[in-house]
Amino acid sequence: MQYYSLNHISPKLSFKEATIKGQAPDKGLYFPESIPVLSKDFLANIKEFSKEEIAFKVIQPYVGDEIPETELRRIVAETVNFDFPLVKINDQISSLELFHGPTLAFKDVGARFMSRCLGHFVKNNDKQVTVLVATSGDTGGAVANGFYGVEGVNVVILYPSGKVSSVQELQLTTLGKNISALEVDGTFDDCQQMVKQAFADMELNKELFLTSANSINVARWLPQQFYYFFAYQQWADKNHPPVFCVPSGNFGNICAGLLAHRSGLPAVHFIAACNANNVVTNYLSDGHYEPKKAVATLSNAMDVGSPSNFVRVLELFNKEFISMKNVLSSYSITDAETKNTIADVYTKMNYLLDPHGAVGYLALEKYLETHSDQKGMILETAHPIKFYDVVEPIIKEKVPIPDSIKSILEEKKQSVKMDANFEDLKSYLKQ
């Protein structure tokens, strides 16, 4: 499998090269040259397969012979060695819980897969690799955990000061060792722009071996297809495929779902659930795409005003607006609606949503108001404990603390404060 840049200037690369580079020299995102189609027999008998076998069948065509089969199976097995339960909330809406991994967020899948692929690729490299990543919340913790202790790899995480939850901040700032955290005085978009500038800086790239662990990296983005197939495996009514509603910020997650759909995943529709950062919601309404400066919300991991992965969504649909609208809808949910949804679902259905899941739930509910014959699921992307400071005042109860969180609550954060200035980042990386 070859990967081409969506800016169409840089040469095509293998999966290994695209993983190591992260972003193309022409600043484009890499995209697979072809999209594999899974056999109808596999999909019809998906209940017979293990999670590991499903994930291997999905990802192997994208990797090709870049990783030996036995090694790829080991990587896949370590990536998905936790539960992905589909939990019924009411008669029309279920929740695919993606928070049972080590950092209680859906990004554990992509981060674990990428860290193990990169570890394999740089095993005999004589130069340290620096993984540079911007986070709006959950990516930082997942990447920190996934790469912690990986030989030959240093990780530098940029996050917007005061705009991630207290638990998210502890997850990405307390590990130490080969993980460094930069606390940027700005927004996630500022952090993401600084990372992009680093990859485009020729002087910096001559001195350092840089790659990215954001969902712009194909090894972070592609494995997110796995849990869509795990969801379908658990879907009871195979004659009526589900609607997938995805809390969306940088659009890597929903783009992976749409890619899975192109590969054969049965789905009746996709919904991008957005908060006040509604660039794509507006685009799907009037066909006009206009990035904005991100605004802070309760669902902070979705606070993205210029979603990087939306160019991949456009590519999937050959930039045909009508084709996209037939498959993808979007709703924008306010903070007030988010709070009301958390309270309402908890009180009436005894199911506790995190703020991102609440955005997804209400968006799906709005869609089902005009599609009452359909059923669907939200992707519950993070455990409510990660946003206890938002959730607990709403439900007026304490959120039970999972064991994986208890161990870090007493830890002290270690971060370097930095202005939203690329030259400051460049100086830090060169020291």
Residue 230 lies in a domain: yes
- Per-residue pLDDT of 160-191, as tens digits, reads 999 988 888 998 899 989 999 999 999 988 99
**Residue 213: its pLDDT value, please?**
82
Q: What is the 3-state secondary structure (H, E, C) of 121-185?
A: HCCCCCCCEEEEEECCCHHHHHHHHHHCCCCCEEEEEEEECCCCCHHHHHHHHCCCCCEEEEEEE
In a domain, 141, yes or no: no
Mean pLDDT, residues 385-403 taken together = 93
- Domains contained in the chain, number: 1
User: Quick check: is 16 in a domain?
Assistant: no
Residue 249 lies in a domain: yes
Residue 239 lies in a domain: yes
Q: Residue 407 is which amino acid? A: S
Count Cβ atoms below 10 Å from residue 271 Cβ, excluding itself: 24
Residue 268 domain flag: yes
- In this structure, is residue 225 part of a structural domain? yes
272-312 confidence digits (pLDDT tens): 999 999 999 999 999 999 999 989 999 988 999 999 999 99
Q: Report d(CA 172, CA 167) in Å as an integer.
A: 9
User: What whole-number distance in Å separates Cα of residue 378 and Cα of residue 120?
Assistant: 34
In which domain, by residue range, is 258 found?
Answer: 82-106+221-404
Strand pairing partners for 182?
158, 416
Is 206 noted as a catalytic residue in this protein? no
Bigger pLDDT: 141 vs 366: 366
Average confidence (pLDDT) over 151-161: 92
pTM: 0.90
Q: Which of 21, 51, 107, 196 is catalytic?
A: 107
Q: Is the pLDDT of residue 78 over 80?
A: yes
Residue at 206 is within a domain: no
pLDDT greater than 90 at residue 407 = no
Percent above pLDDT 90 for the chain: 77
